Amino acid sequence: MIDPTERLKLRIERERSARKEAERLLEEKSLELFQLNKSLLDINDELESRVEQRTQQLLLANESLRTENDRRAKTEEELRSSKTKAEAANLAKTQFLANMSHEIRTPLNGIIGFSDLLIENFKNPIESPEVSQQWLNTIHSAGNHLLSLINHILDLSKIEAGCLELEKKSFNPEKTIQEVLSVFTLQAKSKGVQLEVFIDASVEQAIVSDAVRMRQILFNLLSNALKFTNQGKVTLKAGLILEEEPTLKISVQDNGIGIPQEKLEKIFDPFTQADASTTRKYGGTGLGLTISRQFARLMGGDLIAESEIGKGSTFHLSIKAPLCTKSQTEKKARANTKDIEIQKGLNVLIVDDVEMNRTLMKAILKKISANCSTCENGKEAVAYVEKNQPDLILMDNQMPVMGGLEATSKIRELGLETPIITLTAGAMEEDRDISLEHGSTDFLTKPINSEKLFQAIQRILST
């Protein structure tokens, strides 16, 4: 039989061993739980990191998608806008071509019709010389109208290309205004429209600007005013504002049909008039006001309009007008008094592939009793001057076999200094520059004005 004390010891020992085992197991489990918890924390951190990364990716993708959507929306809007503009431009072009066809065919109808009548009257005289003269005047007027139309288009092209150069010379603005007014006096009288003029005394002072462009602007403004006024009056007012920068201000007022407020700026757009019916009723290409405003702005001023339907319109022109100095006035006076007679019997070589042009030039030069020889291309001209010595050569640029530019260069390579005036249909500034670079002495644009031709000949022969 076991001693109670011994039994107690055994029991205590078993309990101690059990406690140790329990502690060991608890420690193992605690370590295992700690490691599991640590793994869970690591997994959680990784998941959070992945979630954050994915969230950022989604945000970036969403932002990229929003940007792409905005870009596409903008592109679609630009495409719609471009389409609208293209359709508007195409419509404007169609309307312009229709208007241009009308503007060209109208004077052509007069030119061809009255030419036919003159030919018939020459074969079988029926009408008096006075009537024939009227027909000739109509043909001449129609031709000038066509030339003006072409010049308008060229001016607009130069303006848009930034190639238009102003000619700054001294002139009397009052005299220029009166010259333009004289053109419209008969037209106003025939329509029963009163033409009022109020020119301040200050406008009599000479200024330095482009008289040709100013005359063109005034011509357009007065032409429009009379065109759209069937009764009442057209009033022109002019004054010179003598400030730090002198400014010439001119207004042209009519009591015609007027222009809607919402279209006051539109009328300055190319090929545009206030209304399509305006074009049908009154004609015109819609270029005059566009070019006039551009001219005014190039001259340091502007052209603006105010109007009221049924009461008329007023156009206000302003241009910078530096006063002419005494030396400039004297220089111009000396230039005006210089009058050189062209010597009779000049030997002139006319080089042009078109027989009509050669015939016309010979008829013009007959006024100064010139002896004319002709060639049909540049190659013939070079061969001619190798054997002959003309006093002057009138050279077309575009010809078969050899053009005028090449022929002029070859003539200069021969060492000949014979004056060569280029006569060409090319009216752009670069045409003039290229011709002079190839050795031309001067440059004139077809259709040739006989007065300008004689002035060029005088200028060349006097140097």
What pLDDT is stored for residue 285 in this prediction? 56
Q: Quote the pLDDT of residue 341.
A: 67
Q: CA 380 to CA 400: how far, in whole Å?
A: 11
Q: Is the pLDDT of residue 286 over 80?
A: no
The predicted pLDDT at position 313 comes to 92
Q: Name the band, by pLDDT with cuts 50, 70 and 90, for residue 336.
A: very low
The yes-or-no verdict on residue 94 having pLDDT over 70 is: yes
Percent of the chain with pLDDT over 90: 30
pLDDT at 1: 60
**Top mean-pLDDT range of 108-112, 114-118, 403-407:** 403-407
Q: For residue 279, what pLDDT band results from cuts at 50, 70 and 90?
A: very low
Indicate if the pLDDT at residue 379 is higher than 60: yes
Asked whether the beta carbons of 427 and 445 are under 8 A apart, the reply is yes
Listed in sequence order, the residues at least 6 apart from 355 whose beta carbon sits closer than 8 Å to its beta carbon are none
pLDDT in the model for residue 426? 74
Distances (CA, A) of 251 to 259, 263, 264, 305: 16, 19, 16, 10
CA dihedral of residues 47, 48, 49, 52 (deg, nearest 10): 120
User: What percentage of the chain carries pLDDT values higher than 70?
Assistant: 90
Residue entry with tokens 């100095």: 325
* Residue 298: other Cβ atoms inside 10 A: 15
Is the preceding peptide bond at 260 cis, omega within 30 degrees of 0?
no
Mean pLDDT calculated for residue range 437-463: 88
Sign of the Cα torsion 136, 141, 143, 144 reads positive
Q: Which residues contact 155 (CB under 8 A, 6 or more apart)?
A: 164, 291
pLDDT the model gives residue 99: 66
Q: Taking Cα atoms as reference points, which of 341, 393, 396, 388 lies closest to residue 369?
A: 341
pLDDT in tens, 31-56: 888 888 888 888 888 888 888 888 88
Q: How far is it, in rounded angstroms, from Cα 75 to Cα 64?
A: 16
What's the rounded Cα separation, in Å, for the pair 315 and 276? Answer: 21
Looking at per-residue pLDDT, the higher value among 95 and 7 belongs to: 7
User: Mean per-residue pLDDT for 391-396?
Assistant: 94
Q: Please check the confidence at residue 276 and state whether its pLDDT lies above 60.
A: no
> Mean pLDDT, to the nearest integer, of 258-262?
85
Cα gap 293→29, rounded to integer Å: 97
Lowest-pLDDT range, 12-16, 47-51, 206-210, 234-238? Answer: 12-16
Pick 409 or 186 by higher pLDDT: 409
Find the mean pLDDT for residues 338-366: 84
| Mean pLDDT across 370-388 | 94
β-bridge partners, 305: 315
Q: Point out the least confidently predicted range of 141-145, 202-206, 348-352.
A: 141-145
Residue 299 phi/psi, 5-degree rounding, is: -90, 15
Do 290 and 270 contact (CB within 8 A), yes or no?
A: yes
pLDDT at position 96: 67
* pLDDT value at residue 277: 46
How confident is the model over 388-417, as a mean pLDDT? 93
Q: Is the pLDDT of residue 338 over 50?
A: no
* 3-state SS track over the chain: CCCHHHHHHHHHHHHHHHHHHHHHHHHHHHHHHHHHHHHHHHHHHHHHHHHHHHHHHHHHHHHHHHHHHHHHHHHHHHHHHHHHHHHHHHHHHHHHHHHHHHHHHHHHHHHHHHHHHHHHHHHCCCCCHHHHHHHHHHHHHHHHHHHHHHHHHHHHHHHHHCCCCCCCEEECHHHHHHHHHHHHHHHHHHHCEEEEEEECHHHHCCEEECHHHHHHHHHHHHHHHHHCCCCEEEEEEEEEECCCCCEEEEEEEECCCCCCHHHCCHHHCCCCCCCHHHHHHHCCCCCHHHHHHHHHHHCCCEEEEEEECCCEEEEEEEEECCECCHHHHHHHHHHHHCCCCCCCCCEEEEECCCHHHHHHHHHHHHHHCCEEEEECCHHHHHHHHHHCCCCEEEECCCCCCCCHHHHHHHHHHCCCCCCEEEEECCCCHHHHHHHHHCCCCEEEECCCCHHHHHHHHHHHHCC
- Across residues 154-183, what is the average pLDDT? 82
Least confident of 183-197, 259-273, 325-339, 353-367: 325-339
For residue 162, what pLDDT band results from cuts at 50, 70 and 90? confident
Given a cut of 50, whether residue 333 has pLDDT beyond it is no
C-alpha closest to that of 389 among 346, 423, 358? 346
- What is the residue-averaged pLDDT of the chain? 84
Mean local confidence (pLDDT), 197-206: 89
Position 340 scores a pLDDT of 46
Q: CA 437, 350, 212: angle at the middle one, nearest 5?
A: 60
